[in-house]
Amino acid sequence: MTQMLPPGSTIGILGGGQLGRMTALAAARLGYRCIVFSPEADSVAAEVSAGHVRGDYADSAALARFAAQVDVVTYEFENVPEAAVAECLRHRPVRPGVRPIHVAQHRLREKEFFRAAGIGTADYQAISSMADIAAATALPGILKTCTDGYDGKGQVRVSNRTELAAAWDRIGRRDCILEGLVDFLCEISAIVARGADGTTRCFPIGLNEHRDGILRTTTVPSGLPAGTLSTAERYGAQVAASLDLVGLVAVEMFVTKDGSVLANEMAPRPHNSGHWTIDACVTSQFEQLVRAICGLPLGAVDVLAPSRMLNLIGDEADGWHRFLEEPSARLHLYGKGQARPGRKMGHVTYVQLPGGHRPA
Ligand code: AMP
C-alpha cells in the first residue's frame, strides 16, 4: 500500500517543459511544492516551481541531490533516459515507475505490449536488416524509428519494398518498425489515472485532429458511438493495469471505418490531448496525476461543458490578444521565449458557455 503524501509534501518532476509546468500549477493549488530536474536553464516548469535542479540526465550525483529534496518523483516526458529514472528510484518512489517508460520509449516493445494486453494494433513488423525489408508485407505503411520519434518525427510513408529500402537507408539503418497504413475514420485518446489502490478512472475520450504529425485539436464530447467509447476506455484501463502503474497514461488510438479501435502509442504522463480537462472537467489531468502519485483519492472526471482545445504552434501564439477577447476562449501560454515552427507555445480551450455558443 502506497503511503499518502499530504499537502505540503514535495513532488520532483523530471523534465522542464509545459507538461511539468501545468503539473506544478495543479500541485500548487493543492498545497504541494514541486522541484524540477532538467538540463536547460530556462525551464518553463521550473519558472512556476519551488526549485530547480539543473543537471544532465546522466549525472547521477545531480539526480541524487534532486531526489534528496523531494518525497516522490514523476516525469513529464517519456524520453527521459531510463537510467535517470532508475537512479531516482534508488532514493525515492518514482511514479509511474521505470517499466512504463521502458515500454513507451520503444515503438516495437510498445506494440508487443499492446498485443500481449489483448489490445488491437495496426499490422507491424520489425525492420532491422535488408532481410526484414525483403520479407516486409505491412505495405503500404509507415516506417518509424523505434526510439526518439515524436510528433511525426522519424517517420516515412512507403508504398513498396523499394521505397522502404530507400527510406530505411535515409533513416540511417536504425532499428525501425514498419506499420501498415491504417485507413482510419478518426483518432482518439484515452487518458487513464490509476491510483495507489489500483482504482482506475478514464477521462472522457477526446477526438483528436492532427496536422503535419502534430496534434491540432481535441474535441469533447467526441460524438462517437457508446460502444467505441467503452472499448477505448477499456483499452486505456487495461494498459494502466498491465503496466501496474500509479499515475497517468495516455493511449492514442485509431477508430477504423468498421468501428474497431486500434492502439497506436502511449505516453505514461499527462498528454496534450488532455489539456481540455483544465477548463472543462471537474478534475484536470494534472491534478489527477498529483492525486494518484501522492496516494490521494482520484477526482471525478465529469465534463463541465463541451469544449475544443486548439494548440498554438509557432507564431500562432502571437494572436494572444484575439483569444483574450473571445468570451468562450480560455488561453494558456507556456512562457516559452522563442516561437519556432512546430514548437508548442500554448493552447486555447473553447468552452461552451451556459446559454452561449457551441465551441468554435
Ligand atoms: P505517431 O508519432 O505514431 O503518433 O504518429 C503521428 C501521426 O501519424 C498519427 O497521429 C497519425 O495521424 C499518423 N499515423 C501514425 N501511424 C499511422 C498508421 N499506422 N496508419 C495511419 N496513420 C498513422
Q: Within this chain, do residues 194 and 343 fall inside the same structural domain, yes or no?
A: yes
Residue 74 grid cell: 514523476
Q: How far is CA 286 from the centre of its chain?
A: 11
Q: Within this chain, do residues 266 and 336 fall inside the same structural domain, yes or no?
A: yes
Q: Within this chain, do residues 129 and 191 fall inside the same structural domain, yes or no?
A: no
Contact 256, 262 (CB under 8 A): yes
Is 2 inside any structural domain?
no
H or E segment at 311? strand 307-313
Q: Which atom of ligand 1 is nearest to the CA of 180?
A: 19
CA torsion sign for 40, 41, 43, 46 is positive
Closest CA to 289 of 23, 18, 1: 23
Q: Within this chain, do residues 242 and 320 fall inside the same structural domain, yes or no?
A: yes
Is 356 inside any structural domain?
no
CATH of the domain at 212: 3.30.470.20
181 close to ligand 1 (CB < 6 Angstrom): yes
Using the 3D structure, point to which of 158, 180, 202 is the last residue of a domain: 180
Q: Is the model's pLDDT at 136 over the cut of 70?
A: yes
Number of domains in the chain: 3
User: Which of 106, 114, 142, 181 has the most ligand 1 atoms within 8 A of CB, as the residue to mutate?
Assistant: 142
Q: Which atom of ligand 1 is nearest to the CA of 183?
A: 21
Cα 316 to averaged position of ligand 1 atoms, centre (Å): 24
Residue 148 grid cell: 526518439
Q: Within this chain, do residues 88 and 128 fall inside the same structural domain, yes or no?
A: no
Is 105 inside any structural domain?
no
pLDDT digits (tens, 9 = 90+) for 138-183: 999 999 999 987 666 678 999 999 999 999 999 999 999 999 999 9
Is 15 inside any structural domain?
yes
Using the 3D structure, point to which of 180, 201, 229 is the last residue of a domain: 180
Percent of the chain with pLDDT over 90: 93
Cα 298 to averaged position of ligand 1 atoms, centre (Å): 31
Is 213 inside any structural domain?
yes
User: Which of 264, 272, 273 has the most ligand 1 atoms within 8 A of CB, as the residue to mutate?
Assistant: 264
Q: Is the model's pLDDT at 215 over the cut of 60?
A: yes
Closest CA to 276 of 258, 301, 246, 243: 301
Is 257 inside any structural domain?
yes
Q: Is the model's pLDDT at 287 over the cut of 60?
A: yes
Residue 213 grid cell: 504529425
Is 305 inside any structural domain?
yes
Q: Within this chain, do residues 196 and 306 fall inside the same structural domain, yes or no?
A: yes
- How far apart CA 342 and CA 246 sit, in angstroms, is 31
Q: Within this chain, do residues 156 and 58 fall inside the same structural domain, yes or no?
A: no
Q: Within this chain, do residues 229 and 242 fall inside the same structural domain, yes or no?
A: yes
pLDDT at position 357 is 61
Q: Within this chain, do residues 189 and 305 fall inside the same structural domain, yes or no?
A: yes
- Domain of 58 in residue numbering reads as 10-94
pLDDT at position 3 is 81
186 close to ligand 1 (CB < 6 Angstrom): no
- b (16+ CB within 10 A) / e for 132-156: bbeebebbebbbbbbeebeeeebbb
Q: Within this chain, do residues 238 and 316 fall inside the same structural domain, yes or no?
A: yes
Q: Within this chain, do residues 258 and 284 fall inside the same structural domain, yes or no?
A: yes
pLDDT at position 154 is 73
Q: What is the mean pLDDT of residues 35-60?
A: 98
Q: Within this chain, do residues 127 and 215 fall inside the same structural domain, yes or no?
A: no
pTM attached to this predicted model? 0.96
pLDDT at position 2 is 60
Q: What is the chain's Cα-based Rg?
A: 20
Using the 3D structure, point to which of 136, 159, 180 is the last residue of a domain: 180
Is 103 inside any structural domain?
no
Q: Is the model's pLDDT at 358 over the cut of 90?
A: no
- Average predicted confidence (pLDDT) for the chain: 96
CATH of the domain at 155: 3.30.1490.20
CATH of the domain at 68: 3.40.50.20
Q: Which bin fits 215, alpha (ψ -120 to 50), beta or left (φ > 0)?
A: beta
